[in-house]
C-alpha cells in the first residue's frame, strides 16, 4: 500500500493542510526516510493511547463506530473487564514547518470512514475500501468535523456525503 494525500482545510484548530495516510511504518518508508516513519508511527501510537475514545461495553462502542469496528483496548481495573475503542488503521503524517511534524492516528469509524483526532476534536478525512487494517485509503473531498460521541449517525451522514461507506 502506498500513501494517499488528504487535503485538509488550513486553520489553527484543524489538522495541517496536506497529510499522507500510511498503514504502518513500512508503507511510509516507500515515501520517506525510515527514522521519520518510525518516529511518526510511535507518535501516533502515543496519541492513540491518549486520545482514542473508550467505551465500557463493546455494544456501546459499536453504536458510535459501527458494527465490528471496535477492539478491546485495555483492562478496566474498576470493573475487571475491557474497555473498547476504535480500530487503529494507520496514521497521517505531514510536515507542519521546519522540524515539526503532524503525526496522528487514523481510526475506523462508521461505514468504513476514516477519523482523525486533533486538538480535542475529530475529523472525517476519508474512507477505507475494506474492514481489515491496511485496507486501501480514499481521501475525502472535504474534511468535516465529527462531534465526539457522534461517530455513529453523524459520521455516517458525513461519510455518505463525501462518498465514503
The DSSP output letter for 161 is H
Mean pLDDT within 19-23: 89
Instruction: Look at residue 1 in the predicted model and tell me its pLDDT.
Output: 45
Q: Supply the DSSP string of 52-116, one letter for each residue.
A: S--BSSHHHHHHHH-TT-EEEEEE-TTTSSEEEEEPEEEEEEEEEETTEEEEEEEEE-GGGEEEE
pLDDT digits (tens, 9 = 90+) for 75-125: 656 666 678 988 888 999 987 666 678 889 998 888 888 888 887 788 888
Q: Where are the domains of the chain?
A: 4-161
Instruction: Look at residue 79 in the predicted model and tell me its pLDDT.
Output: 63
Mean pLDDT within 1-24: 62
Instruction: Look at residue 113 in the predicted model and tell me its pLDDT.
Output: 86
For residue 156, give the H/E element and its range.
helix 153-161
| Residue 14 exposure: Cα atoms within 13 Å on the Cβ side | 19
21 vs 77, which has greater pLDDT? 21
Instruction: Look at residue 147 in the predicted model and tell me its pLDDT.
Output: 64
123 vs 40, which has greater pLDDT? 40
| Contact criterion met (CB below 8 Å) for 53 and 86 | yes
Instruction: Look at residue 133 in the predicted model and tell me its pLDDT.
Output: 64
Mean pLDDT within 33-60: 90
pTM of this prediction?
Answer: 0.71
The DSSP output letter for 129 is S
- Return the minimum-mean-pLDDT range out of 21-30, 114-123, 156-165: 156-165
C-alpha distances (whole Å) from 156 to each of 7, 30, 35, 120 are 20, 32, 36, 20
SS (H, E, C) 19-52: EEEECCHHHHCCCCCHHHHHHHHHHHHHHHHHHC
Radius of gyration (C-alpha) of the chain in whole angstroms:
15
Instruction: Look at residue 33 in the predicted model and tell me its pLDDT.
Output: 92
Instruction: Look at residue 50 in the predicted model and tell me its pLDDT.
Output: 84
Question: In the predicted model, what is the mean pLDDT of the chain?
Answer: 75
Long-range contacts of 98-102 (CB under 8 A, 24+ apart): 101/36, 101/39, 101/40, 101/43, 102/15, 102/16, 102/19
Amino acid at each position: 500500500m502506498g500513501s494517499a494525500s488528504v487535503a485538509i482545510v488550513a486553520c489553527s484548530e484543524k489538522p495541517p493542510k496536506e497529510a499522507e495516510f500510511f498503514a504502518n511504518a513500512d508503507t511510509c518508508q516507500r515515501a520517506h526516510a525510515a527514522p521519520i516513519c518510525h518516529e511518526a508511527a510511535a507518535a501516533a501510537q502515543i496519541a492513540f493511547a491518549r486520545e482514542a475514545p473508550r467505551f465500557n461495553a463493546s455494544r456501546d462502542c459499536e453504536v458510535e463506530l459501527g458494527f465490528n469496528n471496535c477492539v478491546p483496548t485495555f483492562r478496566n481495573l474498576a470493573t475487571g473487564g475491557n474497555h473498547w475503542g476504535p480500530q487503529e488503521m494507520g496514521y497521517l503524517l505531514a510536515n507542519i514547518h521546519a522540524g515539526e511534524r503532524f503525526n496522528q492516528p487514523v481510526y475506523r469509524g462508521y461505514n468504513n470512514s476514516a477519523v482523525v483526532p486533533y486538538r480535542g476534536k475529530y475529523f472525517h478525512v476519508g474512507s477505507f475500501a475494506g474492514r481489515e487494517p491496511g485496507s486501501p485509503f480514499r481521501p475525502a473531498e472535504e474534511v468535516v468535523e465529527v462531534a465526539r460521541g457522534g461517530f455513529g449517525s453523524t459520521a455516517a451522514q458525513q461519510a455518505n456525503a463525501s462518498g465514503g461507506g
